[in-house]
Amino acid sequence: MTILHKSKKLKKELTTFNIYTMATGATVASGFFLLPGLAYAQAGPAMIFSYLISAVVIVPTIFSLCELATAMPRSGGVYFFLDRSMGPLIGTIGGIGTWLALILKTAFALVGMGVYVALFFPNIEMTPIAVGFAIFFALINLAGAKKAGILQIIFVIGLLLIIVCFSAVGFLQLEADRFSGFFDQDINRIFLAAGLVFVSYVGLTKTISISEEINNPEKTIPRGMFLAFGTVILVYLLGTIALIGLLPGESLKNNLTPVASAANILCGKTGVILMTIAAIIAFFAVANVGILSSSRYPLAMSRDHILPSFLRRLNKKNVPQCSIMMSLLFLLLVLILFDPMRIAKLAGAFQLLLFALISLAVIVMRESRIESYDPGYKSPFYPWMQIFGIIASCWLILEMGWLPLLFTVALIVFSILWYFYYARNKVIRDGAIYHIFARLGQRRFEGLDTELRNILKEKGLRDYDPFDMIITNAGYLDISDDLPFEEIVRQAASLLSKKINVKSELLVKTIMEGTQVGATPVSHGAALPHLRLPGIRSSQMVIVRSKKGVRIKIKNEFISKESTNEPIFAFFFLVSPEENPGQHLRILAQLASHVDDDRFIENWLSASNEPELKELLLREDRYLSLFLSSNLKSAALIGAEIRNLKLPESTLIAIIHRDEQVIVPSGQTILRENDRITFISNPEGIKELYAKYFG
């Protein structure tokens, strides 16, 4: 089987605030500025319930997307998740369909602001203006996701400030009688309005397509998404209450500029101008994120050979230039040739279908039992949350009528034809669903496990992973003789057996069997024999340096190919509890990321003692080596008793080098001049120590 295409990675430069502003800005435009009047026509003042019902329906999708994105932070979002869970055919349907749907929604936003512009310029032609802004936002995106993110922050901060002021002033002038008949509405009409405003929440999901460009995605994605979701609900609830309380029913019903009409009551023409500016900013925010997120779909599909290869190219700034230009081209065609206000609504049913498939993807990934599927966030109430998401999405699809269904079928048929006539012969890959089939005796795709392990290497350790302590407490063997691999295994097993109270014979047998079946990763002159056992409390390790090198043939799990008969100079024998496979794999992935450094073996062989070897494996943001001298800032530590030191929280002194000896410190240990001490802490603690003693 072929290995998945490796391409240059995008820059990880987006923060929680970037994700928050992108998700928020991509969501509030139509839901607050356009749809309230239409929803009121369906459900009257009870449209508030319609917004809440729609929010409940989107919850399973948000939870599922956060889980998938923290496990597989890759460009392409929905495409990537569906492809890796259910195979390239479903991935092609999801990728092409989502790409076109995002383009339609972006075109809708650019033209949709025209209803507000028309309040002051009724005869203006919006299409040339929309084309101009489409090109402008594409140029911003060509400068990189960070630049687009900065622009989005400006848009959203300004937008939210205006909405807060509008709602606050509006609440002071509410008329209670406007809410009469609140509980008298037909429940069917409330649900019908819920189906109408459901599209208001779709923007929350757009940012998932850029998860590859997010710093620390395991924390950033859930935080940004949930904060945005909470903000959007507040905006919709407070905003719709203000609109209902300010506008007479006949004025609000079917009003496409309800916010401007309400602002006219509050502040006259000044209010109309202000809220028109807010509406334009909101639609700009949608367009900006729309171009950014839609462009990542051709990039991801091109990497997997679903689309032509030129779409995966990155420019000097690591920006997918061709993919952005392709998305811009299709956007311009939609703006010039079609009526985006009409055809954008047709994509709603397809998006709901994708939401159902996203919930299904979580079920497939979990039930595949691939150990390297290791999301930083797990959806609660599994699998009932996902089952509810599937049922709710399908129900809303049926409520949307036959035209959106027909559009959805057309997209599916086109995607299937594209896959079979263009992509099928270029792709040798299956999804996680075959791992479920494997449990029933059918085939599975091992390349997916390899890809997920490589993602683990990129994501790194979690804060609670005890990697540093495992390295610090690891047993150590320094072998100068020409010993065979089996003898090294026996000596390492002897040390491990004392740490975990397991017979060394069992360890030797298990390690050798794992090696024979290709379960020991090898890379750049290092081997990582590993196993998980029941009944042990914590992970333990033995580190071995073989100065002459040992030649063995072992399959490399992390790059999915057999190693050559290269000499192995470093061995890391890792044993972990059986109950925590994710942590075990993260520790292995962290070791692999160190040994993949081109200079690792050179530094490994030149290290003079055990502490220097171990320091090669400790993360730079987690440790600090400090030399104590009366001529340096570290002089303040000389003569101090360790237990009396005021260290940052969660900081400890792991190793002390003194007179060519290694001291394991205790609270009573007194630090001396010329000691070299190694601190272990969290990144914030290391920064504090560095600033104090170096900075």
Domain boundaries, position 584: 460-609
Our measurement of the distance from residue 39's CA atom to the centroid of its chain's CA atoms, rounded to an integer in Å, reads: 33
Look at the block and give the residue holding tokens 């405003």. 197
Q: Report the chain's C-alpha Rg in angstroms.
A: 29
Judge whether 490 and 477 are in contact, CB under 8 Å. no
pLDDT score at 537: 87
Non-local CB neighbours of 423 within 8 Å, separated by 6+ positions: 88, 92, 305, 306, 307
* 459 residue type, one letter: K
Separation of alpha carbons 124 and 290, rounded Å = 24
pLDDT-derived band at 65, boundaries 50, 70, 90? very high
Strand partners, 214: 14
Q: Considering only residues 123 and 99, tell me which one the structure prediction assigns the higher pLDDT.
A: 99
Residue 564: CB atoms within 10 Å: 8
Domain assignment of residue 354, yes or no: yes
Average pLDDT of the chain to the nearest whole number: 84
Check whether residue 67 and residue 180 sit in a common domain: yes
Q: How do strand 623-627 and strand 676-680 relate by DSSP bridges?
A: antiparallel
pLDDT score at 308: 92
* 300 residue type, one letter: A
Domain assignment of residue 617, yes or no: no
Domain assignment of residue 451, yes or no: no
Check whether residue 403 and residue 502 sit in a common domain: no
Please compute the mean of the pLDDT values over residues 477-493 and round it to a whole number: 90
Separation of alpha carbons 490 and 592, rounded Å = 23
Separation of alpha carbons 568 and 570, rounded Å = 6
Q: Is 50 exceeded by the pLDDT of residue 1?
A: no
Domain assignment of residue 600, yes or no: yes
Distances (CA, A) of 73 to 69, 208, 377: 5, 8, 12
Judge whether 72 and 452 are in contact, CB under 8 Å. yes
Separation of alpha carbons 187 and 552, rounded Å = 71
pLDDT score at 5: 41
Pick from 460, 419, 39: nearest CA to 239:
39
Output the six-digit token pair for 64. 């599922």
- What CATH code is carried by the domain that includes residue 42? 1.20.1740.10
Q: What does the DSSP 8-state code read for residue 8?
A: P
Check whether residue 187 and residue 254 sit in a common domain: yes
Q: Is 80 exceeded by the pLDDT of residue 482?
A: yes
What pLDDT, in 10s, does the model give residues 500-528? 888 889 999 988 887 765 667 777 888 88
pLDDT score at 189: 85
Task: Find the range with the poorest average confidence among 242-246, 425-429, 541-545, 599-603.
Answer: 425-429
Pick from 598, 305, 585: nearest CA to 429:
305
Judge whether 402 and 247 are in contact, CB under 8 Å. no
pLDDT score at 357: 94
- What CATH code is carried by the domain that includes residue 494? 3.40.930.10
Separation of alpha carbons 213 and 433, rounded Å = 27
What share of the chain has pLDDT > 70, as a percent? 92
pLDDT-derived band at 4, boundaries 50, 70, 90? very low
pLDDT-derived band at 2, boundaries 50, 70, 90? very low
Please compute the mean of the pLDDT values over residues 78-97 and round it to a whole number: 90
Check whether residue 247 and residue 150 sit in a common domain: yes
Judge whether 82 and 90 are in contact, CB under 8 Å. yes
pLDDT score at 445: 59
pLDDT score at 221: 92
Domain assignment of residue 618, yes or no: no
pLDDT score at 470: 87
Question: 3-state class of 497 per DSSP?
Answer: helix
Please compute the mean of the pLDDT values over residues 23-40 and round it to a whole number: 87
Separation of alpha carbons 416 and 424, rounded Å = 10
Check whether residue 355 and residue 418 sit in a common domain: yes
Check whether residue 605 and residue 628 sit in a common domain: no
* 220 residue type, one letter: T
Check whether residue 480 and residue 548 sit in a common domain: yes
Q: Is 60 exceeded by the pLDDT of residue 251?
A: yes
Give just the sign of the alpha carbon dihedral 308, 311, 312, 313.
positive
Q: Is 70 exceeded by the pLDDT of residue 694?
A: no
Output the six-digit token pair for 663. 């001291």
Containing 74, the helix (H) or strand (E) segment is none
Phi, psi of 31 (to 5 degrees): -65, -30
Q: Tally the residues of the chain.
A: 695
Judge whether 676 and 657 are in contact, CB under 8 Å. yes
Separation of alpha carbons 542 and 26, rounded Å = 51
Please compute the mean of the pLDDT values over residues 630-647 and round it to a whole number: 88
Q: Is 50 exceeded by the pLDDT of residue 296?
A: yes
Report the chain's terminal Cα–Cα distance, integer Å.
52
Domain assignment of residue 271, yes or no: yes
What pLDDT, in 10s, does the model give residues 267-294? 888 888 998 898 888 888 888 888 888 8
What pLDDT, in 10s, does the model give residues 424-459? 888 766 666 555 555 555 555 567 777 777 788 778
Judge whether 145 and 211 are in contact, CB under 8 Å. no
Check whether residue 123 and residue 210 sit in a common domain: yes
Question: 3-state class of 239 per DSSP?
Answer: helix
Q: Is 60 exceeded by the pLDDT of residue 616?
A: yes
Domain assignment of residue 448, yes or no: no
Q: Please, what's the b/e burial string for 199-234 (b: 16 or more CB within 10 A of its CB; e: otherwise)?
A: bbbbbbbbbbbbbbbbebbbbbbbbbbbbbbebbee
* 319 residue type, one letter: V
Domain assignment of residue 119, yes or no: yes
pLDDT-derived band at 560, boundaries 50, 70, 90? very low
Check whether residue 667 and residue 592 sit in a common domain: no
pLDDT-derived band at 224, boundaries 50, 70, 90? very high
pLDDT score at 387: 96
pLDDT score at 685: 84
Output the six-digit token pair for 105. 């929604």
Distances (CA, A) of 25 to 22, 28, 269, 682: 5, 6, 25, 34
What pLDDT, in 10s, does the model give residues 111-120? 877 888 888 8
Q: Is 70 exceeded by the pLDDT of residue 593?
A: yes
Our measurement of the distance from residue 144's CA atom to the centroid of its chain's CA atoms, rounded to an integer in Å, reads: 18
pLDDT score at 446: 64
Phi, psi of 362 (to 5 degrees): -65, -45
What pLDDT, in 10s, does the model give residues 108-149? 888 877 888 888 888 888 888 889 889 998 998 888 777 777
Non-local CB neighbours of 354 within 8 Å, separated by 6+ positions: 78, 82, 94, 97, 98
Check whether residue 350 and residue 230 sit in a common domain: yes
How many domains are contained in the chain? 3
Check whether residue 585 and residue 627 sit in a common domain: no
pTM of the model: 0.80
Task: Find the range with the poorest average confidence among 111-125, 318-332, 544-558.
Answer: 544-558
Question: 3-state class of 562 per DSSP?
Answer: strand
- What CATH code is carried by the domain that includes residue 679? 3.30.70.1450
The angle formed by the CA atoms of residues 212, 218 and 221, to the nearest 5 degrees, is 70
Check whether residue 508 and residue 652 sit in a common domain: no
